């Protein structure tokens, strides 16, 4: 970090990157999903899955939030099954933890 006129300036910041791309990441989440595990009478369910990519490039601190607990649990399980490492985020050349949020929606799940 460089200080100029009493203010800190960030020299360079890079967020964590999934090396296969976000489209592939989303596809992997879908492939890991077990729809039969979701209990719902709604036509549509949504949740937000929050996680951190740590300094080593691993997914940690996974937490899904939404109104359907079975959907939340399955979303957490689906992302934790992804073992591919990320390229960690950096700030001024030092690796850092980066937080991500992915919204998920499923439709037509009435049983």
What tokens does 37 get?
Answer: 């595990």
Nearest-5° Cα angle at 108, 106 to 111: 115
| CB contact at 8 A, 31 and 24 | no
The domain segmentation of the chain, as residue ranges, is 12-107
Task: Decide if 77 contacts 62 (C-beta within 8 A).
Answer: no
6: which DSSP letter? T
pLDDT in tens, the chain (111 residues): 445 555 655 556 899 999 999 999 999 999 999 988 898 888 899 999 999 999 999 999 999 999 999 999 999 999 999 999 999 999 988 999 999 999 999 886 555
Topology of domain 12-107 in CATH is TolA/TonB C-terminal domain (3.30.2420)
* Overall pTM > 0.85: no
| Dist CA 9 CA 86 (whole Å) | 26
């Amino acid at each position: 970090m460089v200080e100029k006129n009493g203010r800190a300036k960030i020299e360079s910041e890079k967020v964590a990157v999934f090396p296969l791309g976000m489209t592939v990441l989303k596809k992997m989440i879908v492939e890991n999903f077990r729809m039969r595990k979701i209990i719902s009478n709604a036509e549509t369910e949504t949740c937000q899955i929050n996680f951190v990519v740590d300094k080593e490039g691993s997914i940690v601190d996974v937490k899904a939030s939404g109104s359907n607990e079975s959907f939340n649990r399955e979303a957490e399980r689906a992302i934790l099954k992804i073992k591919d490492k990320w390229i960690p985020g950096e700030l001024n050349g030092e690796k850092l933890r980066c937080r991500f949020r992915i919204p998920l929606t499923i439709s037509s799940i009435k049983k």
